[in-house]
Amino acid sequence: MSASPLGQETSQVTARAKVLGRAQYAGDLKFPGMLHAKVLRSPYPHARIVRVDTTAARALPGVKAVLTGADAPARPWGGGPHKERHVLAREVVRFAGEEVAAVAAVTEDIARDAIDLIEVEYEELPALLSPGEALDAEAPAVHPGRKDNVAHAIAFHRGDVDAAMARADLVHEETYITQAQYPGYLEPMASVALVDPEGRLHVWTSTQSVFLARARLAAALELPISSVRVTQATTGGGFGGKIVEDDNQLVAGLLALRAGLPVRLVNNRLEDFLACCTSVPERITLKLGMTREGVIVAKDVKIIAECGAYAGLSGEVMHVSSMRSDNMHRNANVRCDAKLVYTHTPPHGAFRGFGGSQMLFALNSHIDTMARKLGLDPVEVHRRNAIGQGETSVHGWKIGSTGLLECITQATEAIGWAARRAAPRGTGSRRRGVGMAAVMHVSGNRTMGNWDGSTVAIKMNEDGRVVVHSGECDMGQGAMTMLSQVVAHELAIPIGHVHVAPPDTDSAPYALGSFASRVTMSAGNAAIRSAQAMRDKLFALAAALMEVSSQDLELADGQVCVRGTDKRMALADLARQHVWRHGGEPLQTTVTWDPPTVMHDKDLYGNVAPAHSFAAQAVEVEVDVETGQVTLIDSYVADDLGKVLNPVAVHGQTNGASVQAIGWALYEQLQIEDGRIANGNFADYTMPTPDAVPLLRGGFVESNDPNGPYGAKGSSETAILPGAPAIANAVFDAVGVRITSLPITPEKILAALDARGRGAAEARDA
């Protein structure tokens, strides 16, 4: 009998093609007559386009199309609700790197030469390069017609925050600053576009959502949505950056429409830094009220977030920063005032963790500080405030499962929390300390629209093997493998007998795509039900042919068997006979699953997620007080993912997320100088290397969510959230200085140690 692949270490079903070099990324695709595209970008953060002369570029042999804003549709597009950006800039550029012109030529070298021949005359304009400048009452609007530079605002007040603060035994307020982080995926953005024989635009692209990409292409290029087809090429990582905020697909599509030939546009790494949205920088002022026992009684938050020149999905990111962490705790008194601000800087947007990282850095740092002031172990403070299973949070979230307490125990025990806290911090220049953090995330999110479902279609071929169609995208996280596991389990066939087709808007059922850790939850549930519907069809036919009750049937080893007898029929025979009979039809099923959630109301109250993931991380660091260098010595992440469907895949996701968190905490920062990215390449943008990462340890907590497929929840994002605050708390534990702005650089540590030393000297002198 075929063993179920669920819960087993299962290789990614895409792995063989990748390691053999056979996987087709967008940059690998070739078509007859295919042109190569390049983009000319603005060197200024804010300027008026006075004149564009493309004469020399058009005259260059081999150039087939040269486009400027005047050649592009006038309708603006946007990755989120704000439609304010053009495919190619019209009249004004609003950030250094904005697309001004595009070329398609017979070779990449000719396209690059043509770009160099385009003459653009700019009138440089004053640039607003920080939220502070943009919020000044006298500041001009980044987007004419707006009364100010606030792109989005969120405000809510539940309970009575002021009264709760007044009765708290300890009130603490601090401001935290988080920086922009580049996604750092291996494959830069890439698209190939062509106009098919029927005049439809077909785009192969590296994306997290083929249907959102199709909708954006149709809107921005002013085409009927049915005349656009998007196919996901193999995608080498996304981390939020490949949802709907880049211009790559639009430029490639427009060039293909104008040139009448296939066009390939692949960013090099320098171009990708300019084109990709980085994570949203936020300035968070957090005020908590706490009892002497460590119970949080009030929370007051002010956020200034920066979206850059265009809002994109930054408003939704800020929404998460503003609200999600409130739902971890039982505190009924919360208040928030958040503003998203336009500046003349490169746009920010979606990133793994989607706004959770920013607030959870602040919140966990704050809890650690207050626990120390009260003489409490921060572990106990987290325990006393953790929301429980079956409870409803302050914002109306119904907690169907939570393993947060178990995660805290698992992570802290794994690194020997009690013993290491009690141990000496070290002598000489190297001091050791431990820190921990606890976090929550979602598995699905009914926030951006009143649907969070997924549809899975299954077809059984005449050999008893199946093809699965889903619009959900695999960007390396293992969506195709998860769907293969589910279908193989339900139909009792080997996982090798399941093929998941790449998402294609012409053949796949509609889907939202890979974000909000929703794919396992929504597509997994749809796949279970679609496979069970397939089983029911098989049983109905087998029961008629073998003259037994369908209640007596079971699936095993690619056959339908009659329990307790030797009677059986192969799935291949049933698939053939399902067609070849009077009134027959192909054996196929299509099922949609939409979670039982409730979209929030005008006051942002509602049960928006079908499940909630939790995690905790404990770390040990060593800090060199002479150099300020921080070394991560040990790390353990405990992840509540409901039910482990594929241990090796989850470990991979947890480890990758942990390394991204380490980078954000200690190394990575997009440097903007005079509005321009100064470190837009892997030579200058510092990311963690293997020697900066310890052995990454971790474990699972299985809380078995009632809405999850087999109890499972999402596992791709939660593990990125606790890393930065855990490291920050460990640094404080080691050397006694609190770094409240990321990244935690040697310069900041040395400055804080120096300031503490001067303060102590002044106190003695006084």
| Residue 1 pLDDT exceeds 60 | no
Residue 447: the pLDDT is 86
Residue 237: the pLDDT is 95
Could you read off the pLDDT of 52-79 as tens digits, one per residue? 999 999 999 999 999 999 999 999 999 8
Task: Given CATH 3.40.50.12160, say whether it is the number of domain 403-447+607-766.
Answer: no
As annotated, the residues of the chain forming the CATH 3.30.365.10 domain(s) are 403-447+607-766, 453-593
Which of 84, 116, 312, 319 lies closest to 212, judged by CA?
312
Mean predicted confidence (pLDDT) in 589-602: 96
Residue 37: the pLDDT is 98
| Residue 371 pLDDT exceeds 60 | yes
Percent of the chain with pLDDT over 90: 96
Residue 766: the pLDDT is 67
Run of H or E including 35:
strand 35-41
| Residue 280 pLDDT exceeds 90 | yes
Going by pLDDT thresholds of 50, 70 and 90, the confidence category of residue 80 is confident
Residue 763: the pLDDT is 67
Run of H or E including 436:
strand 430-442
Could you read off the pLDDT of 111-139 as tens digits, one per residue? 999 999 999 999 999 999 999 999 999 99
Residue 392 gets the label, from left (phi > 0), alpha (psi -120 to 50) or beta, of beta
DSSP 701-722: E----SSSGGG----SSGGGSS
Residue 428: the pLDDT is 87
- Measured CA to CA, the distance from residue 182 to residue 668 in angstroms comes to 8
| Residue 486 pLDDT exceeds 60 | yes
Residue 762: the pLDDT is 66
Residue 716: the pLDDT is 86
Percent of the chain with pLDDT over 70: 99
Mean predicted confidence (pLDDT) in 323-344: 98
| Residue 19 pLDDT exceeds 90 | yes
Helices (H), 11-66: 15-19, 55-59
Mean predicted confidence (pLDDT) in 416-425: 94
| Residue 633 pLDDT exceeds 70 | yes
Residue 715: the pLDDT is 85
Work out the mean pLDDT of the chain and round it to a whole number: 96
| Residue 338 pLDDT exceeds 80 | yes
Strands 454-460 and 568-570 come out as unpaired
Run of H or E including 421:
helix 417-422
pTM of the predicted model as reported, rounded to 2 decimal places: 0.97
| Residue 612 pLDDT exceeds 70 | yes
Residue 711: the pLDDT is 98
Mean predicted confidence (pLDDT) in 220-247: 96
Task: Given CATH 3.30.365.10, say whether it is the number of domain 453-593.
Answer: yes
| Residue 656 pLDDT exceeds 80 | yes
| Residue 641 pLDDT exceeds 60 | yes
